[in-house]
Amino acid sequence: MEIPCITRYPLEKQFQKAYTIAKFKEVQEELRGFLYLTTSLLGCEGGRSIFEVADEIQVGDDLLKHATFTVKIDEDPLDVKCSCKLFEFKGILCMHTLRILTQLGKHIVPSNYILDWWRKDVKRKCTFVKSSYDTSSIDDARRYDRIQNCFYELCSNASKFESSCVKLINQIEQLKVQYPGITDPVTSTGGTTVD
C-alpha cells in the first residue's frame, strides 16, 4: 500500500519512497502546515542563509498563536537547522525547514535527514530472531548470529585503542565494497541494519 503525495514537490516523493507509511504521514502533516507560514530572508553570507519563518499555531477552537522560528541553511554541503528542533526531537524535518528548502528549489533532501530508523527498506535485527514456526529464516538467523559473534569480538578488541578502532573501521569499509547490499534508488545509502 502506498499513500499518495499531497504536493508536487519531488522531496515529498523522496520521503514517500523511503519512509514507512506512519512516518510519511507525519511528513505530510508538516507539508500541510505550509498554508500557515510566511518566510523572509534575514541574511545571506557566502553559502549560509538565515530565514525567519512566521507560523500561526492553533491553540484552541478560535485562538491562533503567532510564533517565529529561525531556519539556517548552509549550501555546501547542504545542512539545515530550525529553532523548533523537530528534527532533533522526532527525526523528521519540520514544516519550516521543508518550506525553505522548497522555496530555494531544493528537490532532494540529503540522506542524513532520512533516518534509518524510519526507513521501510532497512532490514531490522528482529528479522534475524530464530523462531520455531518459520523454518525458512532459521538458516539466515544462524549465519547472522555467527557473523555477529565475530564482529562483537572484533569490536571489543578494537575499541580499546583509537588506532585499532580506525584500522578496523577502514577494513570494514573495504568489506562493504565486497559485500554490497541492496542499493536504495532514493538516497543510494544501501540497506543497513538498525536495532
Cis peptide before 185 (omega within 30 of 0): no
The torsion angle over the Cα atoms of residues 105, 111, 115 and 119, rounded to 10 degrees, is 90
pLDDT tens digits for range 105-124: 999 998 889 888 778 876 55
Whether 71 shows a pLDDT value over 80: the answer reads yes
* Range from 19-33, 48-62, 80-94, 156-170 carrying the lowest mean pLDDT: 156-170
pLDDT > 70 fraction of the chain, expressed in percent and rounded: 82
Whether 55 shows a pLDDT value over 90: the answer reads yes
Whether 96 shows a pLDDT value over 70: the answer reads yes
Kindly report the backbone phi and psi dihedral angles of residue 59, in degrees, each rounded to the nearest multiple of 5, phi listed first. Answer: -100, -35
pLDDT at 127: 52
pLDDT tens digits for range 136-195: 556 766 777 777 777 767 777 777 788 888 888 888 888 888 877 654 444 444 444 444
Nearest alpha-carbon partner for 125 in 137, 133, 115: 137
Whether 44 shows a pLDDT value over 80: the answer reads yes
pLDDT at 195: 46
Tally of residues, the chain? 195
Q: Pick the more confident residue, 181 or 88.
A: 88
pLDDT at 159: 78
Whether 50 shows a pLDDT value over 70: the answer reads yes
CB atoms within 10 A of CB 81: 15
pLDDT > 90 fraction of the chain, expressed in percent and rounded: 42
Gap between the Cα atoms of 177 and 142, Å rounded:
23
Gap between the Cα atoms of 93 and 123, Å rounded:
23
Nearest alpha-carbon partner for 186 in 88, 97, 126, 113: 113
Q: Stretch 10-35: mean pLDDT, rounded?
A: 92
pLDDT at 133: 56
pLDDT at 184: 43
Q: Stretch 30-54: mean pLDDT, rounded?
A: 94
Average predicted confidence (pLDDT) for the chain: 82
